[in-house]
Amino acid sequence: MPKKILFISPTGTFDNGAEISIFYLMKHLVQQEYEVYNVAPQANAGIQTEYYNKYMEAGIKVDFIPILKWWWEDAPGGLPGTKEDRNAYYRENILKIRQLIQREKIDYVVTNTVNMFQGAVAASSESIPHFWLIHEFPTGEFGYYREKIDFIDDFSDQIFAVTGNLQIELQKLFPKREIMGFASFTEIRSVNQKIGKKTRIVSIGRLTQRKNQLELIKAYQQLGQTDVELVFIGAWDDEYKKKCTEYIKTHQIKNVHFKGNKEDPWKEVTDQDICVYTSSMETFGLVYVEALLNGVPVIISDNPGYMSAYNMFHLGKIYQLGNEIQLARLIRESITNFSNEKSNAVKMIDSVREIYQVPVVYRDILLALEKEIEPTKRSMRHLADLVSSNEQKGRLARFEIRARKFVSKVHHRLRR
């Protein structure tokens, strides 16, 4: 009998790396004859149609459930409603997950982000194993989860973290267990690059404070080669773009271009381009991997996420975050030696592709799912009592009506 795996997803949309990467794990599991289920928060029917459609095509059963706040109370996203309302929704969300576990006879529950707890509690209530996949460093907006470490430890039969620096950091926070690794994955197509007339410096990704593109602009200023175009491909946060354009205007920097969002940004990259990525923080460097798979010479900052990806491939150049002079020097070297660097980048595409595939990057998770695991016994109040009142049952019935209407809307859109 194939095992049945239930994933708990953070957003129900494909606008974040955690959702995108684990979709491909689910798809692979279906191909390996697992039965895969996914629970995601109900959002606007329009933006979730693509999500629903893609899951159905992959043979993954997806349920959208009504939520008030899906993440921990102190996670990003604010505090909608009253505390009593949020608690009621949390209890009802857990109950609906438990009902799915019971109905489909689920074997494992996998929570795809540190930001949610419902799947962990539901799995414990039903005495089945629970795996936690952590994509987020416990700093900044996600620093709150340091206070949840004991809970996460207690309600996990296995914890997985993005390989590299995050895995190392979490191992320190969970000294009594082994933190296994995985790498973020997305299906990357190599494109036939346009023939370029001359070398350009290209940065792909949304223009934001965290992506830190102003540092590249400052390095470009240090470079002093304004005959070389600096091109940014991607949408932007208005305030941060204003900050960048004001700096360019104040310092009279020429030949900097903002192309905006492109459906397939790699079609904008030519065979004469160098990619430069200056993010101050990432969990994993997907844009770095994309550059390697397209045979583009690449320079990256030494932020922990990029270094995690770099340690898989050992390709490209690294500069110290904040060191604009060093970055300018590496760009100058890449321009001067472009022919050799391009040739080497193209030669390494096949090697990168061998490493970057689902059975390799999710090896530890796949091996864990093959095992027969006895779930950890946990002392906790049984949550069935929390949803036993008539008031809660009435709310749950209303939620089910809304959920059915929502799924009906999705089906209607798919038929059009």
pLDDT one digit per residue (tens) for the chain, 416 residues: 789 999 999 999 887 778 988 999 999 999 999 999 999 999 766 778 889 999 999 999 999 999 999 999 999 989 999 999 999 999 999 999 999 999 999 999 999 999 999 999 999 999 999 999 999 999 888 999 999 999 999 999 999 999 988 999 999 999 999 999 999 888 877 778 899 999 999 999 889 998 999 999 999 999 999 899 999 999 899 999 999 999 999 999 999 999 998 888 899 999 999 999 999 988 788 889 999 999 999 999 999 889 988 988 999 999 999 999 999 999 999 999 999 999 999 999 999 999 999 999 999 999 999 988 777 655 444 343 333 334 444 544 454 444 444 444 434 443 44
Under 8 Å between Cβ of 151 and 117: yes
CA 108 to chain centroid, in Å, comes to 21
> C-alpha angle 130/134/138, rounded to 5°?
130
Structural fold of domain 4-185+360-415: Rossmann fold (3.40.50)
Q: What is the pTM of this model?
A: 0.76
Structure tokens given for 398: 């209303």
C-alpha distances in angstroms, 151 versus 2, 48, 147, 157, 174?
A: 30, 31, 9, 12, 11
What CATH number has the domain spanning 200-355? 3.40.50.2000
Cα–Cα dist 384/196, whole Å: 64
Look at phi and psi of residue 254 and say left if phi exceeds 0, alpha if psi is from -120 to 50, else beta.
beta
Domain(s) labelled CATH 3.40.50.2000 in the chain stretch across 4-185+360-415, 200-355
Residue 227 CA, chain-centre distance (Å), reads: 36
